[in-house]
A and B are shown apart, each in its own frame.
Chain A
C-alpha cells in the first residue's frame, strides 16, 4: 500500500529539548515536503526537497532543519523547540503527476 508514515504521532516536550520527527514514503517519489497546520492559517510549507541531498526553505523555515540522505526519508529536526512551534505537522510526498500524499500528522506541544 502506498503510504507516508510519520513518527511520533503525538509529542509533548519542553522548550530547548532537541527533537526529530521522522517521515518515510514507499512510493519512490523524488519530491517531499513538510508543512505545519495552525487554525485559521491553513498549511504553511516549512521545507521541501526535490531529491536526495537537495533541500530548500519554504514559507516558514525558521527554527527547523531537514535532511534528505536517502529518497524515502525526510526527517524534520527542531534543534531548540519553542512554544510557538506547537502545531500539527504534516509530511507529504509528491508524485510526478503533482499529487501530494500526506502523512497522518504529528501533533507537537512545546511547553
Chain B
C-alpha cells in the first residue's frame, strides 16, 4: 500500500523568506500527489496536485511543489512567506481509490 511521510512536525520561517514543507512518498505505481492546507477550525483546502507532466506544479496562493521521482519527494515551496500562510499542511498520495495523508506539518510564519 502507498504511504506518505512528512518528516517535520513544525516549520518556522520569517515573513518574506522562502519556505519549504517536505513530503516523501511510497507507491507501487505512478503517484498521484496532493497538497492540502488546513486553517484553524476549518476543513482542508486543495492547494495543488501532481498527476503527470511538468515536475514543477503551481497551485493556489503562490505555492508550488516539485515532484522528484528519484528521491520520491514532493516538497511544497513558496518564494516569499506571508504571516497568513501559517496553517497546517498535509501531503497526500492516491493509488486507485485509496487516499493516504501525511501526519501534517504546522507552518508558522513570523512577522
Residues of chain A whose beta carbon lies under 8 Å from any beta carbon of chain B: 4, 33, 35, 40-45, 48, 50, 56, 58-59, 90, 92, 98-105
Specify which of B32, B42, B46, B98 is in contact with A104 (CB 8 Å cutoff): B42
Q: A44–B94 Cα gap in the complex (Å)?
A: 12
Q: A56–B98 Cα gap in the complex (Å)?
A: 10
Question: Taking A42-B90, A42-B101, A56-B97 as contacts, is the C-beta distance between A99 and B49 under 8 angstroms?
Answer: yes
> What are 28 inter-chain pairs, A to B, with CB distance below 8 A?
A4-B43, A40-B103, A42-B90, A42-B102, A42-B104, A43-B44, A43-B90, A43-B92, A45-B98, A48-B97, A56-B97, A58-B98, A59-B98, A59-B100, A90-B43, A98-B32, A98-B49, A98-B51, A99-B46, A99-B49, A100-B46, A102-B36, A102-B43, A102-B44, A104-B43, A105-B41, A105-B42, A105-B43
Task: Classify chain B's interface size.
Answer: 20 to 34
Q: A102–B97 Cα gap in the complex (Å)?
A: 17
B36 CB contacts on chain A under 8 angstroms: 100, 102
For A101, the closest partner residue in chain B by CB is: B46
A100-B46, A101-B46 given; 4 more Cβ-contact pairs under 8 Å: A4-B43, A42-B103, A43-B92, A44-B101
A43 CB contacts on chain B under 8 angstroms: 44, 90, 92, 101
Residues of chain B whose beta carbon lies under 8 Å from any beta carbon of chain A: 6, 32, 34, 36, 41-46, 49, 51, 90, 92, 94, 97-104
Q: Which of A42, A48, A58, A103 has the most CB of B within 10 A?
A: A42
Taking the nearest CB of chain B, how far is it from the CB of A46, in angstroms?
11
B41 CB contacts on chain A under 8 angstroms: 105
Taking the nearest CB of chain A, how far is it from the CB of B96, in angstroms?
10
Q: A41–B46 Cα gap in the complex (Å)?
A: 19
B46 CB contacts on chain A under 8 angstroms: 99-101
